[in-house]
């Protein structure tokens, strides 16, 4: 049995697919590539990749196929005409999508005799290949375990569970967190920037504050699980008062206050539902559309 790096096919050579293929080449995997626009394969071919002439040829070349195209519709458009080449292959789909699309796609690949693992990439292309970066996977554990060593070439592989949609579900949740945090950081940066403070001066302090914020998440997670939110550290009512200072300071400097207005109104709805003296974690009841 061959114990060296296994052959892999990468379908989709946009910014991300190219980074995936490059990371596999770096680890010595015989790598076959295919892209709708073949010219994007040129830098990879220069590094030793083999360019397949057709999708069917690409899929036949390796037991493991890693796909990363724009969206699930594009993936189906690419693989459907060559579906007969899928039998006996394992497909790891790193294209972003919804949990429902993951289930439909698993069913479709299964119907064509292919094993399927859904995945999500929690980095940008420059982070691919780093053990620091998370790659999320969901679907059959045995498929994941069989290919774990190869997937380690891309980043730290985290298996989330059997339900195929879990990787997309976590991906969506984590991106929501990222956009909220980055928009909050940019709003704060604009606020201090109005006083001629550089982003590079503010950001180390913001990052240190994020360290404290992660402590709040650790404290509040069990409260969320238990549905019990003791306001013994900082209540929602105290924070409704505090956010007015942010609104005032930002308005006085001409900033767009849509984000803190939204946060205040969410806290106010939590207050109206009787959570004023609870911890901030009780806001989840409002977000769930409940009380
Ligand atoms: N970039 C990131 O930081 C990042 C991070 C995490 C996840 N992702 C996900 O990775 C996936 C790819 O992103 P990317 O940044 O690589 O995008 P990209 O650079 O725009 O590349 C898009 C890829 O999809 C292909 N494609 C688009 N429409 C197609 C169609 N109708 N039929 C066949 N192929 C089609 C493109 O082929 P052509 O070259 O022929 O146009 C190209 O290979 C997306 O799902 C994205 O959400 C990206």
Backbone conformation region of residue 155, classed left if phi is above 0, alpha if psi is from -120 to 50, else beta: left
Q: What is the pLDDT of residues 86-113, one digit of tens each?
A: 999 999 999 999 999 999 999 999 999 9
Q: What is the pLDDT of residues 46-63, one digit of tens each?
A: 999 999 999 999 999 999
Burial label, 182 (beta-carbon count in 10 A; 0-12, 13-18, 19+): exposed
Strand runs labelled E in 14-73: 31-34, 50-51, 64-67
Would you state the pLDDT for residue 131? 97
Give the Å distance between the CA of 122 and the centre of ligand 1: 15
Atom 18 in ligand 1: which residue has the minimum CA distance? 14
Q: Which atom of ligand 1 is nearest to the CA of 17?
A: 16
| Per-residue burial over 268-289, b = 16 or more CB atoms within 10 Å of its CB, e = otherwise | bebbebebbebbbbbbbbbeee
Q: Is the pTM of this model over 0.85?
A: yes
Angle between the 199-226 and 166-193 helix axes, to the nearest 10 degrees? 140
Which of 246, 282, 286 shows the shortest CA–CA distance to 265? 286
Q: Which residues pair with 11 in a beta bridge?
A: 34, 67
Kindly list the strands in the beta sheet with 31-34, ordered across the sheet, starting from the edge strand earlier in the chain: 50-51, 31-34, 8-11, 64-67, 90-93, 115-122, 134-139, 156-161
Nearby residues of 232 by Cβ (< 8 Å), 6 or more positions away = 279
Give the Å distance between the CA of 290 and the centre of ligand 1: 37
Ligand 1 neighbour 125 (Cβ under 6 A): yes
Beta strand 115-122 pairing with 134-139:
antiparallel
Angle between the 72-79 and 99-111 helix axes, to the nearest 10 degrees? 10
> How far is Cα 72 from Cα 97, in angstroms, rounded to an integer?
6
Give the Å distance between the CA of 203 and the centre of ligand 1: 31
> How far is Cα 186 from Cα 229, in angstroms, rounded to an integer?
30
Ligand 1 neighbour 155 (Cβ under 6 A): no
Q: Which of 55, 69, 75 to mutate to test the pocket of ligand 1 (most atoms within 8 A of CB)?
A: 69
Ligand 1 neighbour 17 (Cβ under 6 A): yes
Ligand 1 neighbour 38 (Cβ under 6 A): no
pLDDT, one tens digit for every residue, the chain (291 residues): 457 899 999 999 999 999 999 999 999 999 999 999 999 999 999 999 999 999 999 999 999 999 999 999 999 999 999 999 999 999 999 999 999 999 999 999 999 999 999 999 999 999 999 999 999 999 999 999 999 999 999 999 999 999 999 999 999 999 999 999 999 999 999 999 999 999 999 999 999 999 999 999 999 999 999 999 999 999 999 999 999 999 999 999 999 999 999 999 999 999 999 999 999 999 999 999 854
Which residue is associated with the tokens 């300071």? 249
Strand runs labelled E in the chain: 8-11, 31-34, 50-51, 64-67, 90-93, 115-122, 134-139, 156-161
> How far is Cα 166 from Cα 120, in angstroms, rounded to an integer?
9
Give the Å distance between the CA of 209 and the centre of ligand 1: 34
Q: Which atom of ligand 1 is nearest to the CA of 19?
A: 16
> How far is Cα 213 from Cα 36, in angstroms, rounded to an integer?
44
Atom 24 in ligand 1: which residue has the minimum CA distance? 69
Backbone conformation region of residue 161, classed left if phi is above 0, alpha if psi is from -120 to 50, else beta: left
């Amino acid at each position: 049995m061959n114990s060296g790096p296994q052959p892999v096919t990468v379908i989709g050579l946009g910014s991300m697919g190219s980074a995936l293929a490059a990371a596999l080449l770096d680890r010595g995997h015989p790598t076959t590539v295919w892209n709708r626009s073949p010219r994007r394969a040129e830098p990879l071919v220069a590094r030793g990749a083999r360019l397949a002439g057709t999708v069917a040829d690409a899929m036949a070349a390796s037991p493991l196929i890693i796909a990363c195209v724009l969206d699930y519709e594009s993936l189906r458009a690419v693989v459907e005409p060559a579906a007969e080449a899928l039998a006996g292959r394992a497909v790891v789909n790193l294209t972003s999508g919804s949990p429902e699309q993951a289930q439909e796609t698993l069913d479709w690949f299964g119907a064509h005799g292919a094993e399927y693992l859904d995945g999500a990439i929690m980095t940008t292309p420059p982070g691919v290949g780093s053990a620091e970066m998370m790659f999320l996977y969901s679907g059959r554990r045995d498929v994941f375990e069989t290919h774990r060593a190869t997937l380690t070439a891309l980043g730290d592989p985290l298996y989330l569970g059997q339900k195929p949609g879990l990787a997309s579900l976590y991906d969506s949740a984590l991106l929501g967190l990222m956009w909220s945090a980055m928009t909050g950081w940019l709003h704060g940066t604009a606020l201090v920037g109005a006083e001629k403070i550089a982003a590079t001066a503010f950001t180390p302090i913001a990052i240190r504050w994020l360290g404290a914020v992660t402590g709040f998440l650790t404290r509040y997670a069990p409260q969320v699980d238990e549905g019990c939110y003791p306001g013994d550290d900082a209540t929602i009512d105290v924070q409704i008062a505090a956010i007015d200072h942010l609104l005032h300071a930002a308005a006085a400097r001409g900033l767009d206050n849509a984000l803190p207005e939204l946060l205040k109104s969410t806290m106010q709805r939590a207050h109206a539902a009787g959570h004023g003296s609870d911890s901030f974690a009780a806001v989840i009841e409002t977000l769930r559309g409940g009380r």
